[in-house]
Copies of this chain bind each other. A is one copy, B any other.
Amino acid sequence: MRELRRDPVIGRWVIISYERGKRPSVEYEKEPENDSSKTCPFCPGNEHLTSSEIIAYRQAGTQKDKPGWWVRVISNKYPVLGIEGSIKRYGEGMYDRMDGIGAHEVIIETAEHKKELPDLDDKRAEDIIWAYRDRMVDLKKDMRFEYILIFKNRGKAAGATLVHPHSQLIALPMVPVRVRQEQSGAKSYFDYKERCVFCDIIVQELSSPERVVSENDDFVAFCPFASRFPFEMWVMPKKHDSQFDDIQKPEVSSLTQILKMVLSKLNRLLGNPPYNYLLHTSPLRVSKVPYYHWHIEIMPKLTKVAGFEWGTGFYVNPTSPEEAAKFLREVE
Contact = CB atoms under 8 A, between A and B. Distances in A.
A224 B197 CA distance: 37
B276 A179 contact: no
Contact of A227 (B16, B160, B230): B16
Given A8-B201, A230-B24, A320 B16 contact: yes
Interface residues of A, number: 95
Interface string A140-161: 0000000101011100011110
Contacts of A181: 10, 181, 313
Interface string A263-285: 00000011101101110100000
B153 A306 contact: yes
A168 B226 contact: no
Interface in A123-143: none
A304 B317 CA distance: 20
A324 interface: yes
Given A16-B320, A21-B323, A94 B204 contact: yes
Interface in A56-87: 80
Contact of A314 (B15, B225, B327): B15
A182 interface: yes
B176 A226 contact: no
Nearest to A181: B10
Question: What secondary structure prevails in chain A residues at the interface with B?
Answer: mixed
A302 B9 contact: no
A178 B312 CA distance: 5
B9 A304 contact: no
Nearest to A95: B225
Contacts of A227: 14, 16
A93 B205 CA distance: 10
Nearest to A188: B11
Given A157-B304, A299-B310, 14 more contacts: A5-B226, A9-B198, A16-B317, A17-B316, A18-B317, A28-B301, A151-B307, A151-B311, A159-B305, A172-B312, A176-B311, A177-B313, A181-B313, A276-B306
19 contacts: A8-B197, A8-B225, A10-B181, A13-B226, A16-B319, A16-B320, A24-B270, A24-B327, A26-B270, A26-B273, A28-B157, A28-B304, A94-B201, A159-B304, A159-B306, A178-B313, A276-B311, A277-B307, A278-B311
